[in-house]
Amino acid sequence: MTASDVILCGICDAQHVSHVADYWCPECGEGLCSPCKNYHGVSKASRQHGVISIDDYKKLPAEICKIEQNCTEHDKKFQMFCPGHDKLCCIICISEKHKECTGMFLIDEAIKSSRSSTLFGSLEESLKDIQENIERVVKDRKANLIEIKQQHFKSLNDIKDTRQKLNSRLDELEKNIIDDLISTETQLKLKIETLLNKLSTKMKTIELLKTNLMSVKQHGSDLQAFIGSKMLEKDVTEELKYVQNISEDDGFSQLGLKCQVDDKITDILSEITAFGSITIEKSQSSIDFGVGHAKQAQIFTAVPSRSRSMDGITASLIGEFRVPAGKSFTCITGSSVFPDGRMIFADCNHNHRLVIVQSDGNLDTEIPISPLIPFDVTCIDDKTVAVTTLFNNTIVIVDTETKQFTNTIKTGICRGITYRQGQIIYCEIGKGIVAIQLSNNKVITIVEDDNIKNDWSYITTSGENLYYTDNNSTVKCYSVKGDKRWEYKNESIMTGIAADQHGIVYGISNRNTHVVLISADGKNSRTLLTEKDVIQNAYGIYFHINKLYVVSSSGVLLEFDIA
């Protein structure tokens, strides 16, 4: 063990005594020797600290060991966790930087169940799935390399085979034209040689006539000379006629040979600049990535234990305001809350708009989406929302800063919608619960349920569960992997739905004038709010950091503190 690996007891070191630590206190952030560990364990200030052995401490990843137990900025103990900023907060942090943040929860409540929660199991499952996916990719890529090598050899053989066929064909064409050349030359030669033979015969005839003429002239009598010359004149006249007509003989023409190579052959030398081409082909891999039932990558967030009873839950009205009016009657059918605390509402039938307000009810912005009619809305991040629309079977992704659609997704008849970890999840009438992975627009049916027949079907999620209403009087709970948890039936009409971090469901019922609580196991229920609490004709309901927001169709928003 090197000197740098030795951890000293912090208490002894403060007394200028060097003792090697046998234990480590993460909350104190220092080592403890055995005697000091005993004192540490009985001290009122530290008896609840979770002390571990030095050997176990050294097995922790370096990043984990660096985790601070107190706020480094204010030197105060962390008390809350802000999911919007993904940060631990001390009491000063909350007052200075997180006044408007929603969704915050006590970290003491979360850490009590952190080891026993489904988070570690989910992370282990995700890591296992990620590892399996990587192994599949490695196997697939190696197989692709082998396939590319095979394609290389096949292409090489195709090139050589084509070249051989070209050579064979060119050899055949060459032989044909050479044969034609020889045949044509023979024909021309025959014509000329035939004429030469005729002329040779004529030359002999002419020589004979010349000899006869000289003999008659020198040795014949006058009578013989006279008569003989007349006879020779006739023969000479015939030969003159032959010479005069010799140009008409086919063999007398100026004959020659000309070779004209086909243009298609010469194109190879001029116009064809390549034997062919080599390109890269891309196609969709057969690998279907994912984890769990839906085979989608998940990022898990720690949530407090789901152990709270609904019996002691109370609701206190702490705020009320009206959504800024539009050009016509307001009809709010959906709502959601941004991570920064702002709220957004879907104003349906008449105004065809989205309305964003600050936490105090003041108008932030208004986004017209006509001719589309918004039904429900969910926040993706601080500036992006997803909206289901009536009548045209479409979900639109809206950038609230530019007020532009960034994506339009065709669906079935969609109604309630929520967002979870890269997916928008919605109710599709006659089909079930459908998820769309925003990274690639991949569509997955999580739950097949043809009982969703109600135009007022809504959906929400909490932790690893999703909850939705169907067929007017039923609330169903499924895991995000599609495993059924429970089903709750009520004679009253169920529409809007929300859930807290404990899995307790808040549903709007009894013709939109009551808020009903359903236990985390779906076995029990009780009424939390009624029309006496000013609940009137409400569809939108949202739970955020111990606050319950209920909005009526006319645009009156009620904010309740849940205790």
Laid out side by side, the sheet with 30-32 consists of: 30-32, 23-25, 52-53
User: How much is the average pLDDT of 214-233?
Assistant: 84
At residue 299, does pLDDT exceed 50?
no
At residue 303, does pLDDT exceed 70?
no
* Second-level CATH architecture of 315-562: 6 Propeller (2.120)
Distance CA 161, CA 307 (A): 75
1 — pLDDT class (breaks 50, 70, 90)? very low
User: How much is the average pLDDT of 4-29?
Assistant: 87
* pLDDT the model gives residue 23: 93
At residue 462, does pLDDT exceed 90?
no
* pLDDT the model gives residue 253: 73
At residue 204, does pLDDT exceed 60?
yes
**Best-predicted range by mean pLDDT among 11-25, 81-95, 225-239?**
11-25
Distance CA 518, CA 376 (A): 22
User: How much is the average pLDDT of 388-414?
Assistant: 91
Assess if CATH 2.30.29.30 describes domain 3-116. no
At residue 110, does pLDDT exceed 70?
no
* pLDDT the model gives residue 294: 39
The C-alpha angle 480, 314, 312, rounded to 5 degrees, equals 80
- Report which of residues 274 and 52 the model is more confident about: 52
Distance CA 435, CA 478 (A): 13
- Report which of residues 310 and 307 the model is more confident about: 310
* pLDDT the model gives residue 450: 85
User: How much is the average pLDDT of 398-415?
Assistant: 92
Strands 505-509 and 514-518: antiparallel
Is residue 556 helix, strand or coil? Answer: strand
**Domain coordinates of the chain in residue numbers?**
3-116, 121-270, 315-562
Peptide bond into 371 cis (omega under 30): yes
- Report which of residues 3 and 244 the model is more confident about: 244
At residue 355, does pLDDT exceed 90?
yes
**Both tokens of residue 111?**
């850490």
pTM to 2 decimals? 0.51
* pLDDT tens per residue across span 432-456: 999 998 888 889 999 998 888 777 8
Cβ-based neighbours of 201, under 8 Å, separated by 6 or more: none
**Best-predicted range by mean pLDDT among 23-37, 92-106, 498-512, 524-538?**
23-37
Radius of gyration of the chain (CA): 49
* pLDDT the model gives residue 77: 83
User: How much is the average pLDDT of 511-538?
Assistant: 85
At residue 2, does pLDDT exceed 60?
no
Per the CB < 8 A criterion, the answer to whether 122 and 129 are in contact is no
* pLDDT the model gives residue 472: 63
Count Cα atoms within 13 angstroms, Cβ side, for 489: 2
Distance CA 381, CA 147 (A): 43
At residue 521, does pLDDT exceed 60?
yes
What percent of the chain has a predicted confidence (pLDDT) above 90? Answer: 24
Q: Of the ranges 296-300, 342-346, 524-528, which one carries the lowest mean pLDDT score?
A: 296-300
**What is the CB neighbour count within 10 angstroms for residue 104?**
20
506 — pLDDT class (breaks 50, 70, 90)? very high
* pLDDT the model gives residue 4: 56
Closest CA to 516 of 458, 475, 484, 559: 475
Closest CA to 549 of 106, 103, 81, 105: 103
* pLDDT tens per residue across span 175-198: 999 999 999 899 888 888 888 888
Per the CB < 8 A criterion, the answer to whether 425 and 464 are in contact is no
- DSSP letter string, 404-419: EEEEEEE-SSEEEEEE
Cβ-based neighbours of 515, under 8 Å, separated by 6 or more: 315, 506, 507, 508, 509, 527, 528, 529, 530, 533, 535, 541, 548, 550
Amino acid making up residue 538: A
302 — pLDDT class (breaks 50, 70, 90)? very low
Task: Please name the residue that has the structure tokens 């001719």.
Answer: 371
Distance CA 484, CA 478 (A): 4
* pLDDT the model gives residue 218: 87
Closest CA to 539 of 515, 522, 503: 515
Cβ-based neighbours of 359, under 8 Å, separated by 6 or more: 100, 102, 341, 342, 343
289 — pLDDT class (breaks 50, 70, 90)? low
At residue 541, does pLDDT exceed 50?
yes
At residue 295, does pLDDT exceed 60?
no
At residue 516, does pLDDT exceed 70?
yes
